[in-house]
Amino acid sequence: MSDAADRDRDPEFAFELRVCRWAERAWHPDGPRPAFVARQLGTRQRRWDTVVVEVDPEAFAARRALSTDGFDSDLLRVVRHAPAEWTWYRDAIPEPDFPWRHVVPAVHRAAGLGLVEKRRGSRNRVEYRRTAPYPDWVERVVAIENKPDLDASAARALADQLEHDVSRALADEVWVATEVTGRRVEPALLEDLPVEVGILGVDDDSAEVLWHPSSLSPVSEDARRRLVLAERAYDRGWRNYVDTMRPDCRQFELDRRGRALVPRCAAKDCYQSQRECAHSCPSFEPEPPAWRMNGWPIEGGPGKGVRRILEARRERERDRAEPGSENA
């Protein structure tokens, strides 16, 4: 199949991965900013296709020194408010909107991970202190909706969601990314989208700003929610799609689209989504045992190799957000 034909059949999932890879390499459109990228994250009310977390490089390095894993909301509450000196946990942590007894297991878990130290103090109370301060590492959170074919129908479907994003202002900027068409006036500019939302025209290797977004003003009450979102983004990244696909299928391939590696099914001759590349796929064929022994590590074949490649890329891109990198 030709590259042009592939592009015509490029589904939203493959386009989303291309946007993630572009943002990882070239964020921000107005000039380089240290950042990392995740996908399919949000709140109970709203989930975004792509999330870009802009970071302070030195503070981000300190955050990575604490742990290479993200903190869930319970761990974050404990670690973020961990005191320098031994303190009863109730005096250190702001009162939650649930019973205090549910906080204690998180203190024990944080201590088990080496994030804090704990002891029994006076009156047998649980006291704890930090091993290192939790840094103020998040600069901005940016949301991107991906619509390769932004026609009138797609714009109408997106409008209410984008209006919610603008009014709620949980993100500092909101964008819509769409496939460039090469027309004199890109169709996306003719659609009825909120004026505060930016529009990106994306090609295989680049993106251009078709409409600049307005800077939103997140309220201070949302600071913790934004931090929880950033921690989830740090933990997941955007390459975790392979966890719900079948890279151990002999038909699974990683195809290069520009600078992105996009999952492709050789049996169906197309880019597949996570929903399509599943255990129920009728075209699934397990890797032959010989593949796992002939030149590959004995613990796995090409499927395991795909996971290692994506994990290595993820760590490399995290490194680029730290001081002294080309993005810093």
Structure confidence by residue, pLDDT tens digits, 129-143: 999 999 999 999 999
Which pLDDT belongs to residue 325? Answer: 64
Q: Give phi and psi for 221, each to the nearest 5.
A: -65, -20
More confident residue, 151 or 63: 63
Mean pLDDT of 183-207: 87
Question: Which tokens belong to 210?
Answer: 């078709």
Structure-token match 């392979």, residue found: 242
Higher local confidence (pLDDT), 299 or 126? 126
Quote the CA–CA distance of 283 and 251 in Å, as a whole number.
Answer: 8
| Rounded mean pLDDT, 105-117 | 98
Strand-pairing partners, residue 145, are 176
Q: Span 81-109, mean pLDDT?
A: 96
Residue 19 vs residues 38, 68, 278: alpha-carbon distances, Å: 11, 24, 23
**Stretch 44-56: mean pLDDT, rounded?**
93
Tokens linked to 131: 């091993």
**Mean pLDDT, range 132-155, rounded to an integer:** 93
pLDDT of residue 9: 43
pLDDT band for position 221 (50/70/90)? confident
Straight-line distance from the first to the last Cα atom of the chain, in angstroms, rounded to the nearest whole number: 40
In this model, does residue 175 exceed pLDDT 70? yes
pLDDT band at 223 (very low <50, low <70, confident <90, very high): confident
Instruction: Look at residue 328 and tell me whether its pLDDT is greater than 70.
Output: no
Q: Which residue has the higher pLDDT, 202 or 275?
A: 202
Percent of the chain clearing pLDDT 70 (strictly above): 91
Q: What is the 3-state secondary structure (H, E, C) of the chain?
A: CCHHHHHHCCCHHHHHHHHHHHHHHHCCCCCCCCEEEEEEEECCCCEEEEEEEEECHHHHHHHHHHCCCCCCHHHHHHHHCCCCCCEEHHHHCCCCCCCHHHCHHHHHHHHHCCCEEEEECHHHCEEEEECCCCCCCEEEEEEEEECCCCCHHHHHHHHHHHHHHHHHCCCCEEEEEEECCCCCCCHHHHCCCCCCCEEEEECCCCEEEEECCCCCCCCHHHHHHHHHHHHHHHHHCCHHHHHHCCCCECCEEEEEECCEEEEEECCCCEECCCCCCCCCCCCCCECCHHHHCCCCCCCCCHHHHHHHHHHHHHHHHHHHCCCCCCCC
**For residue 291, what pLDDT band results from cuts at 50, 70 and 90?**
low
Q: Domains of the chain: which residue ranges?
A: 2-56+137-236, 71-130, 240-320
Is the model's pLDDT at 327 over the cut of 70? no
pLDDT at 103: 97
Look over the chain and give the mean of its residue pLDDT values, rounded to a whole number: 88
Q: How many C-beta atoms surround the C-beta of residue 92 within 10 A?
A: 19
Rounded-to-integer distance, Cα 314 and Cα 236, Å: 10
CA distance 257 to 18: 7
pLDDT above 80 (res 241): yes
**Which pLDDT band, with edges at 50, 70 and 90, does 280 fall under?**
confident
Q: Class of 71-130 per CATH?
A: mainly alpha
Residue 229 pLDDT > 90: yes
Q: How far apart are CA 22 and CA 33, in angstroms?
A: 13
- What confidence score (pLDDT) does residue 218 get? 83
pLDDT at 27 over 70: yes
Per-residue pLDDT tens over the stretch 1-10: 334 434 444 5
